[in-house]
Chain A
């Protein structure tokens, strides 16, 4: 699975959009981009995933560049409860072959009042 690079930490003001970047320059054509987050002492929580198109759900939006070498997770209106470690993961996902789900160091997002 391709490796990802994320900034170790970011701050965001409550109510503002949080934009978390991720570089995955060695991603291959059949690898998806996934985002998870981990709130202190809980298990990681799935947020969103995408292949090449931008995606949006009730939690966040995922913007993937056209060359697929980087992506941005957007939390449109960050709250204090969004303070967590955010992980960007690239993973082979197919109908018959699905790869490992490998977590890097992630980005610690601190939402401040």
Chain B
């Protein structure tokens, strides 16, 4: 397996634009996590899914953020409209029961 695949690796966008981050989890994994990492706040859990169903989205900062998992092999994190304070590295991870595997992350810069 190629591991967790995230796209794009880098994204630069203007304030107010819509941004969509994509994640392909490892086949057979039933948990999927979205994280955001900044120097100030560290690694923050935004939302996680179990069997494509959102279990806890209490970490989603505000209504501008939304996440979907339409099937077991794909998830998106959308920011609309984007703001400069959303600039961060966004990680996706998937797991079965114990070991979680992380993607390489998407570095988002909002100017």
What distance in Å separates the Cβ of B88 from its nearest Cβ neighbour in chain A?
13
Cβ-defined contact, B99 with A44, below 8 A = no
Question: Known: A42-B104, A45-B102, A101-B33. Contact between A93 and B97, CB under 8 A?
Answer: yes
Within 8 A of B (CB), among A22-76: 32, 34, 36, 38, 41-46, 49
What distance in Å separates the Cβ of A48 from its nearest Cβ neighbour in chain B?
9
Q: Name the one of B50, B100, B103, B104 contacting A101, with C-beta atoms under 8 angstroms.
A: B100
Cβ-defined contact, A46 with B42, below 8 A = no
What distance in Å separates the Cβ of A53 from its nearest Cβ neighbour in chain B?
14
For chain B, the count of residues having a C-beta within 8 Å of the partner chain is 23
Closest to B98 in A: A49
Cβ-defined contact, B102 with A44, below 8 A = yes
A106 to B99, CA, bound (A): 18
Give residues in B with beta carbon < 8 Å to A: 4, 31, 33, 35, 42-43, 45, 48, 50, 56, 89, 91, 93, 95, 97-105
Can you offer 6 A-B residue contacts whose CB atoms are under 8 A? A36-B100, A43-B102, A95-B97, A100-B45, A101-B33, A101-B48
11 further A-B contacts with Cβ under 8 Å, apart from A42-B104, A42-B105, A44-B100, are: A34-B98, A43-B91, A43-B93, A44-B102, A49-B99, A93-B98, A100-B48, A101-B45, A101-B93, A101-B95, A105-B42
